[in-house]
Structure 1
């Protein structure tokens, strides 16, 4: 039976994700998020939505992006 790369759980319903040459086996989306989701450059939370990119960094929301000094960003257009 496959083993989760993050938590080490042996599980018969694991799945594999592949992104930009990285590959991982996981037993839950929670573990996959910990391994693959980017981290907000301001608050360090995992970004599981679209996020906001600016000046080479990614933020979880407009609030964090503005706090980091980005201008003209909004969560809703």
Structure 2
């Protein structure tokens, strides 16, 4: 058993995520998302899909990117 690093639950079916040289332990995908998913720089939601990037800035969608001035990003080509 291992404790989830997000909620602290000590769960017999916890799992590890290996990312960027670190190992993280979670009891659910929900906790993994809350800890690891980037945050949209406009609306602050967790980016659990592909998201969009402008330079070093991450957004959940092209609308949020445009709201921050990244006018070249679109949802559809």
Q: TM-score, normalised by structure 1?
A: 0.93
Is 1:58 matched up with 2:55?
Answer: no
Structure with more strand by fraction: 2
Residue 41 (structure 1) shift: 0.8
Q: How many residues align?
A: 77
Structure 2 gap ranges (5+): none
- The CA distance in 2 between the partners of 1:75 and 1:40, in whole Å, is 15
Q: TM-score, normalised by structure 2?
A: 0.93
- The CA distance in 2 between the partners of 1:35 and 1:51, in whole Å, is 17
Moved over 6 A (4+): none
